[in-house]
Structure 1
Amino acid sequence: MIPGSIIEYLQRYHVPFERRPHLRAISAQALAASLHVTGFQVAKTVIVHAADRLWLCVVSAPDTVDLGRVSEMLGVRRLRLADESEFIDLFPGCEAGAEPPFGQLYGLPVVVDTHLRHAERLWFRAGSHTEAIELRFEDFLLLEEPLLGPIASERPGELTYAPVEMHA
């Protein structure tokens, strides 16, 4: 069940959303399968420790956070995945492993991978392993005002473009 604080947060800021009950799913990819959507429409939250503070990194379910890219984006030298013991108490009412990406609600900054902008609607964990929240990506951006950048590892077969000098 989604904690009331999350529902109240979304309602307070007039963010349209849908609650999506599903079979118990621990991984983000299992959540996608349970909802019958592609993993690229499911956003997962990965918590990192950088510059003596915690950050929420939000990427697609099949993606992996590239710590080097996040470090570069944040301009910090030291960055690591946070231990559950460092953040579990910051998300009251939420199940461990189902931390939502709503950093404004929990006083944490948010970084979102640019790949997510390709999905019009996204499904998010919202403190529960049996219910998710569906909302428009644009509404999420307006609500959270996150940093947006390429923080996921390159996908196999994905083309990356380097600047090319043109000579006349």
Structure 2
Amino acid sequence: MTVAATLNTYLEQKSCPFDMVEHPFSTTAADAGSFSSIPLKQVAKAVVLHDQDHYLVAAIPAMNKLMLPQVESILGCHTELAHEGELNPLFQDCEKGAIPAIGQAYGLNVIWDDALKDEDDIYLEAGDHRHLIHLKRKQFMSLMGHNPHGEISCAPDELYDLSHVRPL
């Protein structure tokens, strides 16, 4: 497998040409970037969330962690991380754990991190564990520009501990 069929069709419909980067088998977007000698700030990973009614994809730099309070503030609703068992029906043509950050190809809303707009090159999972899609900034912005965005991720050591907070 290379590019997931759904993603490939979407990119063709959007007249968005792309390059492929092949890499050794990896289980995370961060590993894929590292194996390909790509700066992790240029690798967009997908984090799948849901509110009460819908799933959505957060696209953030591969080395970062998602900040749910910032996502909720931008979207104006409560969101939670989707469980792994929820993902297969959403991304049927993708290998487990190789979800593309372009969720709109799968009919999902997307929110993206502003850090990605500063990169000349963006790489994202192609739907398998051996390929990344390479887009130029203009292509990425064309695909993501109309979606909500903001500072929704941070370095893991900057993520504050919310373990003491009890749900309302």
State the TM-score, normalizing by the size of structure 1: 0.85
Provide the residue aligned with 1:130 in structure 2: 130
Provide the residue aligned with 2:100 in structure 1: 100
**Contact 2:74–2:149 at 8 Å: present in 1 too?**
no
> Greater CA radius of gyration, 1 or 2?
1
Provide the residue aligned with 1:52 in structure 2: 53
Letter in 1 for 2:14: Y
Count of residue pairs brought into register by the alignment:
156
- Separation in 1, partners of 2:142, 2:35: 28
- Separation in 1, partners of 2:11, 2:84: 25
- Runs of at least 5 residues in structure 2 that lack an aligned partner in the other structure: 159-168
**Contact 2:100–2:125 at 8 Å: present in 1 too?**
yes
State the TM-score, normalizing by the size of structure 2: 0.85
What CA RMSD, in Å, does the superposition of the two structures yield over aligned residues? 1.7
- Runs of at least 5 residues in structure 1 that lack an aligned partner in the other structure: 158-168
Provide the residue aligned with 1:165 in structure 2: none
SS at match of 1:37: coil
User: After the TM superposition, which segments of 4 or more aligned residues of structure 1 sit over 2 Å from their partners?
Assistant: 153-157
Letter in 2 for 1:48: L
For the structure 1 residues 67 and 132, does the alpha-carbon distance in structure 2 shift closer, same or farther, using more than 3 Å as the test? same
**Contact 2:43–2:61 at 8 Å: present in 1 too?**
yes
> Once the two structures are aligned, what percentage of the paired residues are identical?
29
Provide the residue aligned with 1:28 in structure 2: 29
Letter in 2 for 1:99: I
Q: What is the Cα deviation at residue 41 of structure 1?
A: 0.7
